[in-house]
Amino acid sequence: MKQAPASLKRESADVVVVGGGGSGMAAAIAAAEAGAKVILLEKNPHLGGTTRLSVGSITATGTRFQKAKGIHDTPDEHYEDMSLFLSPELQQKENLELRRVLVDHVPETLEWLIRIGLCFYGPMPEPPHQKPRMHNVLPNSRAYAYYLEKECRRLGVDIRLNARAQRLVMNGDAVAGIVADAGQGPVEFRARGGVILASGDFSAGTELKKTNVPHVAHVDAINPASTGDGHVIAQQVGGWIRNPEVMWGPSMRFKAPPVETLLRRLPPSRWITKPMQFALMNLPLWMFRPFVTRFMTASLAPEPSLLRAGAILVNRRGERFADELARPELEVPKQPDKEAFLVFDGAVGERFQRWPDFVSTAPGVAYAYLKDYQRTRPDLYHEAPTLDALARQMGVPAEALRKAVDGHNESLPGGDTRQPIRQGPFYALGPVMSWIVFTEGGLAVTARHEVTTPDGRQIPGLFAAGSAGQGGTILAGHGHHIGWAMTSGRRAGRFAAERARTA
C-alpha cells in the first residue's frame, strides 16, 4: 500500500464518489439507498455538472407515457434503433454489451427519477427512432440537479464542494481510496466498497484533447469543468480510455442571451411542472409555442441548411474566414473573441420564415424561424436595407463586409446550389460560437461498471459511471447521455455498496 504522509488527514466511508453531476449524484443516492455511508466530492462550488447544462431529455421504452398513448415499445427495439444513428465505422467501435445495459435498465431509471420528484412529458418522436421514446424534463434540465441534490441530502450523503481529486490510494492492486483537496490541504478518503469516478468527459481537457483529438484541441467545451480528471486518475493506476477519438461536435451555437430566459429561471416546483405537463400533453402546441421558442432560441444551434442555402460566416472584423460547407466550426474558435456571424440576404431570409426551412429545432417539440429570432433574441437579430447599414448594426467594418460578400458571390462555382447575397433586406444572426458537446471516449468498464486494464483485468475497488465510464458505448441521439449517466451511476453505486458489505 502506498503510504500517506503522516500529516495527511484521513476520513473513511463505504463509497466515495468523485463528481457531483447527474451520474455522480445518482451513484451516491443508490449507494446510500443500499445502506452505505457515502462521501461525494465535487470540484465546483455547486452540483449539477454537464447534466444541468443539457437539453434535458431521456430516451426510454415501455414507459407510462408510451402506454398512455397506446405505444408498444421494447428495449430490444430501442437497442436496434440505436444503430440507425451510427455510421458503419462507429458501429464497429461500439461496446454493444453496454448498449444492452442502457436499453434494459433506463426504463427503471426514468421511473426512479419520477419517484424522487422529477416531471417529464412525452414521448416525442426523434427519427431515426422508429417509435416516439424521447421524454423531456420540466421545466428545464436544472430540475435534475435540484431533485438529485435534495435526495442526496435526505439520505445523508456527505457532500464536499470545491474538493478536487488528486490521486487514487492503492492497496496492492486494489483501490482503497482517493486523495482530494478542498482548499485546506489534501485529505485521504478511504472507501471500503470502492471509489466511483463520475467526473464527466474530457471535452475541456486540453492535454487529453491534444493526445486523442488534436484537431479540436483549440475548441472550447460546453462545460469548461469537463477536464477529464477521472480519466487521468484512472490511467495512473492502469485504466484506459476506449474510443478516445470519438466525439460530438464541434458545433456552432448562438451566444447565450445577456439575461437568462424565464424558462431557465423557473424553479422545478411541482406547482409549476404539473400544469406545464398537462398543457404539453393535452393542448395544441400553437397555444404555448412562443414560450417554447424562447427557450429554443436561447440554447440551440443554427441549422446547417442555412449555410447550404447561401448564408456566409464573417468574423468581428467583417472578414469571411472559411468555406461554409467544409467544417467551418473548426475555424470559428480561431477568430477574434471566438465569434462569428451568419450573413444572408432577403431571398434566404424569406425562405427561412416558414416550414420546411427553419433556423433551429428542438426535436419533436418546435421549430424556430427567422421571425422567432427577431421577436425573442433582438441581441442576435440584425436586419438592414443595405450592407453598410447591416455592418453598423453588427459593429463590423462596412468595407470588409462588402468585400466578404463580393468575394463569396464571385467565387460561387457553376452548379453550386447556394445563392449569391444580392437582394435586400440583408440579415445577420449572431454571434455564434463553436463548442465540443461531448467527447465519447470513456474509461473501459465491465457491465458492472468496474474499471479495467487494457488486458481486461478488473481494478478492484474502482468504478466509473456517466461519461467517465462510458466504456465504448456510443450515445448518439437525444436522451441517451442522460439516460446513461443516471443508469450507470445508479448501478455503480449499488455494486460499490455491495462490495462494502462483503469486504
Q: Distance (Å, rounded) from C-alpha 263 to C-alpha 228? A: 30
pLDDT at 72: 97
pLDDT digits (tens, 9 = 90+) for 93-136: 999 999 999 999 999 999 999 999 999 988 988 889 999 999 98
pLDDT at 413: 76
Cell 417529464 belongs to residue: 120
CB hemisphere CA count around 257 (13 angstroms): 19
pLDDT digits (tens, 9 = 90+) for 35-68: 999 999 999 999 999 988 887 899 999 999 999 9
pLDDT digits (tens, 9 = 90+) for 367-410: 789 998 898 889 999 999 999 999 999 999 999 999 999 999 99
Percent of the chain with pLDDT over 90: 77
Give the pairing of strands 9-18 and 134-138.
unpaired
Burial class (CB in 10 A: 0-12, 13-18, 19+), 408: buried
pLDDT at 1: 43
Assess whether pLDDT exceeds 70 at residue 261: no
Q: Distance (Å, rounded) from C-alpha 198 to C-alpha 368? A: 35
Assess whether pLDDT exceeds 70 at residue 293: no
Assess whether pLDDT exceeds 90 at residue 342: yes
78: confidence class by pLDDT, cuts 50, 70, 90: very high
CA angle 117, 122, 128 (to 5 degrees): 130
- DSSP for 121-183? EEEE--TTSSS--EEEEES-THHHHHHHHHHHHHTT-EEESS-EEEEEEEETTEEEEEEEESS
Q: Please say whether the beta carbons of 459 and 491 come within 8 A.
A: no
pLDDT digits (tens, 9 = 90+) for 8-40: 899 999 999 999 999 999 999 999 999 999 999
pLDDT at 262: 60
Assess whether pLDDT exceeds 50 at residue 296: no
pLDDT at 297: 47
CB hemisphere CA count around 422 (13 angstroms): 5
Q: Distance (Å, rounded) from C-alpha 149 to C-alpha 19? A: 12
pLDDT digits (tens, 9 = 90+) for 411-468: 887 777 788 999 999 999 999 999 998 999 999 999 999 999 999 999 999 999 999 9
Beta bridge partners, 153, equal none
Percent of the chain with pLDDT over 70: 93
What's the whole-number average pLDDT of the chain? 92
pLDDT at 365: 56
Q: Which of 194-208, 265-279, 280-294 has the highest mean pLDDT?
A: 194-208
pLDDT at 2: 47
Assess whether pLDDT exceeds 90 at residue 298: no
Q: Distance (Å, rounded) from C-alpha 55 to C-alpha 58? A: 10
Assess whether pLDDT exceeds 90 at residue 494: yes
Q: Which comes out higher in pLDDT, residue 256 or 116?
A: 116
pLDDT at 6: 53
The domains of the chain, with CATH numbers, are 9-249+437-502 (3.50.50.60), 300-435 (3.90.700.10)
The whole model's pTM is what?
0.92
